[in-house]
Amino acid sequence: MPEYYPVYLNLAGKRCVIFGGGRIAQGKIAALRDAGASITVISPDATPGIQRAAQRGDVEWIARKYEPGDLAGSFIGVAATNVWYVNREIYEEAERLGVLLNVVDDPDLCTFIAPSIVKRDPVTLAISTGGASPALARKMRETLADDANLRWADLAPVLAEARKEIKEKRVVIDPERWQCCITEELLEMVQEGRAAEALEQLLSRLMDDGQADLCPDLSQCNGGGCSVRPRGRVKETVS
């Protein structure tokens, strides 16, 4: 089994072709649509859900079987035809054209696999077992969906704005200093609707080298100079 490289793809405006019109094919549409992909479904038959999506203009439905050349101009493809030799033909075309392809239930023919997703906007966690067990990936997704640590995702907008302002000021800040500044107090401020105050405090702590409980050098973290981390107030970063 191959070792997959985890990556998030920018699909905005890119062509994606789904071969097959069954329940599994339908299940692929929502995430691809949310990512901004231009979706074409090629299948002689389609579920009512796919037909409704085509009527809304969310997808283009071509009501026929796969034909050689269908992947031309595509960025990614999904083969879900339930006919092994057709999926194999699609795979061979994808290899010739350099198109990323997911073949449902056949990891050996996949150049990418779709992970199980846990989402708390704007943070997304992707879970994969490398094709070993989709059922296990789903179980982990269901387990993590209610995990209390997902609340840290609420800090993402404030952290993004702080990062933008710091980049504009061309200030170099050690990544560990960010860790020290992501605190329960900051999270509580955001969840109480005090985002502007939280941003002001975060920027002050990030860029003020006179903070007593943080390292005096913004660009180099001194592990012995930080009194925040040992108290357990710092969690994993949200990036």
Return the CA Rg of the chain.
23
3-state secondary structure 78-95: EECCCCHHHHHHHHHHHH
The residue written with tokens 């479904």 in the block is 41
pTM of the model: 0.75
What is the per-residue pLDDT across 19-48, written as a single tens digit (0 to 9) for each? Answer: 999 999 999 999 999 999 999 999 999 999
Confidence class for position 197, pLDDT limits 50, 70, 90:
very high
Place of tokens 């005096």: 216
Order of all β-strands in the sheet with 15-19:
59-62, 38-42, 15-19, 76-79, 100-103
Q: Dump pLDDT digits (tens) for 107-130.
A: 889 999 888 888 888 888 888 888
**pLDDT at residue number 151:** 93
Domains belonging to the chain, first-starting first, are 1-114 (3.40.50.720), 115-146 (3.30.160), 152-231 (no CATH)
DSSP 8-state class, residue 108? G
Could you tell me which of 8, 5, 25 has the C-alpha nearest to residue 16?
A: 25
d(CA 145, CA 22): 27
Give per-residue pLDDT as tens, 154-180: 999 999 999 999 999 898 888 888 888
